[in-house]
Amino acid sequence: MLALFDEAVHWLVGRGLSGQWGEQPFSSRPAMRERVLQTMSDNDVRIAEGEGSVVGVLVVGSSPPYVPGNPIPELYVTLLLSARRLQGNRIGARLLELAAEIAVERGAEMMRVDCWADSPQLIGYYEAQGFSRDGVFDLRGWRGQILSRPL
């Protein structure tokens, strides 16, 4: 999973989008390695495999503490990450379809996700997957966009 994060950071930096996750690989940052491990242990993790390796990760669970609560039963997409080298293969879209299946099985009426608010392309991706903008937040100077999708 750290290799996917490192690939994503490299891809983002190459496009001038270092504001999302910084410029250094996650694997070289002890705090980020710990955060990844904590996220995985606190939530439900699904792995997509292909080409003999991990090509995507879906992490779902409860909404994180920095996001306002929701009175509607929901499943929160804590992390969606796919191999940038395989962009265009719908890995993320298929993982979001799996998230919707999990949500319905658990009786959720909505899915929510957040992303970097300063990336219109990323927000547009989630909107193309059926999500709508549903608020913003500021996490120590990092602006986040909350998106929701009714089920």
**Residue 38: inside a domain:** no
**Residue 14: inside a domain:** no
Rounded to whole angstroms, how far apart are CA atoms 50 and 74? 29
Q: What confidence tens digit (pLDDT) does each residue in 56-84 have?
A: 999 999 999 999 989 999 999 998 999 98
Identify the CATH number of the domain in which residue 140 sits. Answer: 3.40.630.30
Greater model confidence, 90 or 15: 90
Overall pTM > 0.75: yes
Query: How many domains is the chain partitioned into structurally?
Result: 1
31, pLDDT greater than 90:
no
**Residue 21: inside a domain:** no
**Quick count: other Cβ atoms within 10 Å of Cβ 43?**
17
CA distance readout (Å), 77 to 14, 23, 105: 26, 24, 15
Of 1-10, 12-21, 99-108, which has the strongest mean pLDDT?
Answer: 99-108
**Residue 48: inside a domain:** yes
DSSP string spanning 3-57? HHHHHHHHHHHHTT-TTTT-SS-GGG-HHHHHHHHHHHHHSEEEEEEETTEEEEE
**Residue 33: inside a domain:** no
**Residue 116 is part of which domain span?**
44-150
**Residue 97: inside a domain:** yes
**Residue 11: inside a domain:** no
Here the tokens at position 110 are 């909505």
